[in-house]
Amino acid sequence: MNKVFAINPATDFVLERHIDAPVQLVWEVLTKPEHLKQWYMPKAWGAVSKCEMDVRPGGMFSIDIATGDGKEFPNLGCFIEVRPMERLVWTSMLFPGYRPAVFDDVPITAIVTLQASGTGTRYVFTALHRNEGDFKQNKESGWQEGTLIAMAQFVAHVNSLK
C-alpha cells in the first residue's frame, strides 16, 4: 500500500483492527446502508435515522443521526476514492459531485483500507483533520470516543453475519 501522506498524531486519528471475517463481508458492512444503520452511531447515543450511499468517486454519502432527545443531525459528504475490497475515501469537506461543502461542523477526510490477513481482514480507519484545533475540538465533542464505540459495533455486526 502506498502512503500518499505521513500520519501526524497532532491532527490525525488512526484506528486499526483485525476482524475475523473475509474482506468481502467487511466491505459489504462498510458500504451498504442497511448494514451501516446497525453500527455507525453509538447505540446509547442515538441511531441512524436515514442513510443513502452512492459508493463511487463523486458519489454521495448521506447519514442522518437521531439523538435520544429527538434532534436530527444530517451529515452529507462525497466519496473521493473507491477501490472495492481495498480502499474507501470520503470527506465531509465536499458535497456530492465534488461540490464545495458549506457546514458548521468539524470537517474530516476519512480513509479506510482493507487487507486480507489470513482468514480475516486488517482494517485501518484514518481521520484527517485540517489542523490541531479541529482535531482537539473533535476529541472534546466525544467524536473520538464515539468512533471507538462505533468500531466495536461494526466488528460485532460483521461477526453476527458470519
Name the residue among 147, 150, 116 with its Cα closest to residue 18.
Answer: 116
Domain coordinates in residue numbering, the chain: 14-160
pLDDT in tens, 51-98: 999 999 999 999 999 998 889 999 999 999 999 999 999 999 999 999
- Which pLDDT tens digit goes with each residue over 107-117? 999 999 999 99
14-160 has which fold?
A: Alpha-D-Glucose-1,6-Bisphosphate; Chain A, domain 4 (3.30.530)
Angle of helix 143-160 relative to helix 23-31, nearest 10 degrees, comes to: 130
Give the pLDDT confidence of 115-130 residue by residue, as tens digits.
999 999 999 999 999 9
Question: Which residues, listed in sequence order, are joined to residue 52 by a DSSP beta bridge?
Answer: 62
E strands along the chain, which residues?
Answer: 12-19, 46-53, 60-67, 72-83, 87-91, 94-95, 99-100, 108-117, 120-129
- Give the up-direction half-sphere exposure of residue 32: CA atoms within 13 A in the CB hemisphere: 12
